[in-house]
Amino acid sequence: MPNAYISGTGGYVPPRVVTNQDMVDHYGIDTSDEWIIQRTGIKERRFVEEGVYTSDLAVPACEMAIKNAGIEKTDVDMIILATLSPDHHFPGTGVYLQRKLGLPEGDNAKFVPCLDVRNQCSGFLYGLATASSMVQSGNLKHVLVVGSEVHSHAIDLTTRGRTVSTLFGDGAGAVVVSATDEDRGVRGWNLGADGRYADNLCLKVWDISRAPYFPVGEDGKGQISVEMLWPYMEGKVVFKHAVTRMVETLMQTCAKHDLTKDDIDLFFFHQANLRINEYIAKMIGLPPEKVPSNIERYGNTTAATIPLLLDEAERNGTLKRGMKIAMIAFGSGFTWGSAIVDW
């Protein structure tokens, strides 16, 4: 059985920088740079311009990952795209990405399967677990796994929505998971979910129980109430469960593979809130140099946070061949996951 390793990484964020002060000056939100940093650690984030899709952000990240893997686009055997901000309600966003990568066109057209993963902040790890299992089965050689998000078009950029809107940014991160006979790669993963808390962090704009799910007014236009239109979050509940589940899933994965925290060189935490990650690191007893972070510059890019961080760490030399790393995430659902990888 082949091993599955990450052969290439890629990342992309849109050029527009939105600082905490921009949230005050441009959007008129009653907040401050100090308030946001104190609660989240975020100093700025990236927003796309109108007309940009989630699949658009994924393209350059995927192209970079494919190039860094040393393969051609036509070598990709499957696309797994994790997102909570799909281009449309349906079809899945993976097929739009496939088309924009040019895979189904030309003399060497390749109609690779596309799988969308809707596990929000832990979506990338769900995708990585799926990809590594596919590769280890021997059926596929190269799987493209991407997390991509456009949050800025679907958050309430007013004082009313500041506890959520100040957290999120747009971006995409990708990896290629490839087969190898070398003794390296994805060593193990752990995934979990607790649907009892599904409504504690949610966006219910597509409530299919309603008939029609968008009420139509006398003018023939759809009408959406504010509480359905914007994301809803019970911050204290999320914080509590994020800390508990992220520590738990990491410990379970380490125990399964007879590892301790000292065996791991770097810990890649989902970049949801710097204060959560600092709290977890302190609980476990991790030094800051073992826990890279970029939430200060990008905010929470949900499914894109871990692959963006991996790509950045590899490019700046923090992540080196031969290191043992851990990835941990928690998100809406509630869902969570962890993975151990020999880089």
* Active-site annotation holder among 3, 114, 119, 121: 121
Tell me whether residue 108 is one of the annotated catalytic residues: no
Strand order through the sheet with 3-12: 3-12, 171-180, 142-149, 78-82, 114-117
270, 273, 277, 294: the catalytic one is 270
Annotated catalytic residue: which of 119, 190, 273, 300? 300
Taking the C-alpha atoms of residue 96 and residue 211, their distance in angstroms, rounded to an integer, is 28
Among this protein's residues, is 270 annotated catalytic? yes
Kindly state the DSSP code that residue 306 receives in the 8-state scheme: H
DSSP state of 140: -
Backbone dihedral angles phi then psi of residue 29, each to the nearest 5 degrees: -80, 135
Q: Which helix (H) or strand (E) holds 109?
A: none
Evaluate whether 285 touches 264 at the Cβ level (below 8 Å). Answer: no
The string over 56-79, giving b where at least 16 C-beta atoms fall within 10 Å of a residue's C-beta and e elsewhere, is bbbbebbbbbbebbebebebbbbb
Is-catalytic flag, 151? Answer: no
**CA-CA distance, 243 to 300, in Å (whole number)?**
16
Q: Rounded to 5 degrees, what are φ and ψ at 7?
A: -90, -15
Please list the alpha-helical segments (H only) found in 101-159.
Answer: 123-136
Active site residues: 121, 270, 300
